[in-house]
Homo-oligomer: A and B are copies of this chain.
Amino acid sequence: MTEINRQIVLAARPEGEVEPRHFRLVETPLAPLADGQVRVRNHYLSLDPYMRGRMSESKSYAQPQPLDEVMIGGTVGEVVETKHPRFAVGDKVVGMFGWQEYGTSDGTALKKVDTTHVPLSAYLGAVGMPGVTAWYGLNRIIVPKAGDTVAVSSAAGAVGGAVGQLAKAQGCRVIGIAGGEEKCRYVVDELGFDACIDYKQNNLRDDLKAAAPKGIDGYFENVGGAVLDAVLARMNAFGRIALCGMIAGYDGEPVPIKQPQLLLVSRLKLEGFIVSEHMEVWPEALKDLGTQVAQKTLKYRESIAQGIERAPEAFIGLLKGRNFGKQLVKLI
């Protein structure tokens, strides 16, 4: 019996908002495994904002996602068949198999992980790309000192939640920005931030002033747009901004920075980064993050959609900020 691999391919490039019609579910029979190959049953697919950029043809930091090919994405799963000396059936692995139920690989970029103390799905979140993203932006760009005030947008998300907890552990005052009362409660009560501002209250500037009375020394940006403008006005001299995402402008028109002179007036340092270009920090960062997750000092939450067919709708929800913590798709 030939197994069927359910996959989601890019059917069309969005001009503005992403819609379900931009994706297509296809069923592909699995080819027999060749020598040197390993087959993985994916358990979880990671959904991340960067995928929106890949769907367009405009200038981005990476090649666009080809049409009619399986959508790119990080996955964790279990080896179910192997003709590769380094992998055994039952091995848990993290890889980049994309939006599909099975992955076949020659072992390149496939990494075995230990799930004794860290749940498999965490390797897509706090102990994976989002965690290292948080770690890099905080420790290599913001470089906070104890007593600094650090702010982060998308604070209830996988990256933002980690940024705040890591900064808090370094003795900073930590301000989150998130959408909605429930997310803000989670950020303060469960993640331990000092304050969280609900940007949907449309009172960002005053709320920031109240939450960060001494100004903001470090800012980790995931959204851009009006949130960035408001934070810029509160940045202290010599503040550092790690520019990780600008989700506010991903659909349609870019959102301007209205008062760029603040970058000069406050002598700010701003740096855009992509964590996959800084592989040199991954071992140190993953070790640090894995230890903190195992000891439960680094907390996270997951939004899990069930089944590959739900991936498009979950991804659209992520772009609209409907997720709560790390957005995953359970594939099994």
Chain A interface (Cβ < 8 Å from any Cβ of B): 53, 59-61, 224, 228, 237, 243-246, 249, 254-274, 277
Assess the B267–A277 pair: CB atoms within 8 A. Answer: yes
Chain B's nearest CB lies how many Å from the CB of A81?
Answer: 39
Q: List 16 A-B contacts (CB under 8 A).
A: A59-B265, A61-B264, A61-B266, A228-B260, A246-B264, A249-B261, A254-B259, A254-B261, A256-B260, A257-B260, A263-B270, A263-B272, A265-B272, A267-B272, A267-B274, A268-B271
A59 to B268, CA, bound (A): 14
Assess the A260–B254 pair: CB atoms within 8 A. Answer: yes
A104 to B267, CA, bound (A): 32
Chain B's nearest CB lies how many Å from the CB of A3?
Answer: 39
Give me the 10 closest cross-chain CB pairs, A-B, nearest first: A256-B256, A264-B272, A257-B257, A269-B271, A257-B260, A254-B259, A267-B272, A263-B272, A270-B270, A246-B261
A184 to B255, CA, bound (A): 33
A257 to B228, CA, bound (A): 12
Given A59-B262, A254-B259, 11 extra CB contacts under 8 A: A53-B265, A61-B265, A61-B266, A224-B260, A254-B261, A257-B257, A257-B260, A263-B270, A266-B272, A267-B274, A270-B270
This chain: copies in complex = 2
Chain B's nearest CB lies how many Å from the CB of A263?
Answer: 5
Chain B's nearest CB lies how many Å from the CB of A79?
Answer: 35
Q: Which of A249, A262, A271, A273 has most chain B Cβ within 10 Å?
A: A271
Assess the A60–B265 pair: CB atoms within 8 A. Answer: yes
Which residues does chain B contribute within 8 Å of A228, judged by CB atoms? 260
